[in-house]
Chain A
Amino acid sequence: MLVIIPAYNEEATVADVVRSVRSQLDGDVLVVDDGSQDQTSQRAREAGAMVLNHPFNLGVGAALRTGFRFARTTRYKAVAQVDADGQHDAADVSVLLERLSSEGADIVIGSRFAGGYEVGLVRRFTMRVLSRTVSRRLGVKVTDTTSGFRAFSDRAVEVFATGYPTAYLSDTVEALILADSHGLKIVEQAVQMHERQGGRPSSGSFKSALYFVRLTLVLMLHRFRRPRKQRGFGHLVSN
């Protein structure tokens, strides 16, 4: 079992997250440091995590893909993703993993909304639209499409190790659609969310709006698009 924590300039919180995950679960912890300029990598290692370092900032999607690729070469049976800012409760990771095995699901999404999480008006509208669109596409009700708190089966890891989308902010939604087109089973699980303990939110409102427009485009084009070419990974790498 591997817990992947993508982190970008999260030195204030990453160590606590790593420690709480390690105290709750018997598994390995991998922090993917996405080109942080601060002590994220150092703090994570001190807290007992393995660390992969991106040479410069590539975005959460790329960090996850790096993590998935590591999980694939090391052959983990299950993988969980947790944010480095302390929003997620490490105790819930086992709940997600539980549903992975109990229902034979490939992706379990930890949903904020079922846990009574409040967001602003614009954000709420956006998320509702996304939720509706994605739910219709997948045939499964997903209320929190952009959650960064998820668990993955080894089948999902296999798909995502090469093809995880990396575009800014839209990686989560696109990933779900990609998973669906590979016939992976997606379920949702209600979880508790904390206020972030440090660091900054990853997006301003303008960027969010742009992201929403881009995502709409992606969703519309998705059916007509040629599949992405298999990328040239793996032949060099043996870690």
Chain B
Amino acid sequence: MSLLQFIVVLEFVRRRKLLESFALLWLFVGVAGVVVAVFRSSVDSVARFVGITAGANLFLGVGLIFLLFVCVGLSVVVSRLEERVEILAEELTAVRGVAPPISDTADVS
């Protein structure tokens, strides 16, 4: 699974659908996944060390918290982008300038 994810991320970067800075994050997650998969017993021992009986629970718990943080981070990024789009759109409106009234013949008569 982790290997597959690793490859998918690389492919996205190659197709320029993903910025390198975000790719780095997900590649790192992929590597971590591979490491965990290879040394499965290590998860169990770490779990026991922090006081959790099952290694899977530790894995899921940490994963959940990690994903939550990523989501919040993305929301922040989206907020900033939205504000920038707004500013640009308003600047564009101003640059285009005001469209004058079309002379209204009914007004003249």
Contacts and interface: CB of A to CB of B under 8 A. Distances in A.
Interface of A: 30, 41-42, 45-56, 58, 62, 65-66, 69-70, 166, 231-233, 236-237, 239
A55 B93 contact: yes
B99 A69 contact: no
Given A166-B86, A232-B87, A45 B93 contact: no
B51 interface: no
A45 B98 contact: no
A236 B89 contact: no
Interface string B90-107: 111111111111101001
Nearest to B88: A55
B100 A66 contact: no
B104 A52 contact: no
A50 B90 contact: no
B86 A62 contact: yes
Decide if the interface of chain B is mainly helix, strand, loop or mixed: helix
B90 A65 contact: yes
A54 B99 contact: no
Q: By CB atoms of chain A within 10 A, which of B90, B93, B95 has the most?
A: B93
Contacts of B94: 52, 66, 69-70, 233, 236-237, 239
Contacts of A231: 87
Contact of B90 (A42, A46, A51, A66): A66
A239 B92 CA distance: 12
Interface of B: 86-87, 89-102, 104, 107
B100 A70 contact: no
A49 B90 CA distance: 19
Contacts of B100: 45, 50
26 contacts: A42-B102, A45-B99, A45-B100, A46-B101, A46-B104, A47-B104, A48-B104, A50-B100, A50-B101, A51-B98, A51-B99, A52-B93, A52-B98, A54-B89, A54-B93, A55-B92, A58-B89, A58-B90, A62-B86, A69-B94, A70-B94, A70-B98, A166-B86, A232-B87, A236-B94, A239-B98
A102 B87 CA distance: 36
Given A46-B102, A46-B104, A48-B104, A239 B89 contact: no
A190 B89 CA distance: 35
Contact of A52 (B86, B87, B99, B107): B99
B103 to A, nearest CB: 9
Given A45-B99, A166-B86, 20 more contacts: A42-B102, A45-B101, A47-B101, A47-B104, A48-B101, A50-B99, A50-B101, A52-B96, A53-B93, A53-B96, A53-B99, A54-B93, A58-B86, A62-B86, A62-B89, A66-B90, A66-B93, A233-B87, A236-B94, A239-B98
Contacts of B87: 231-233
Nearest to A166: B86
B97 to A, nearest CB: 5
A216 to B, nearest CB: 19
A236 B93 CA distance: 12
A41 B99 contact: yes
A52 to B, nearest CB: 5
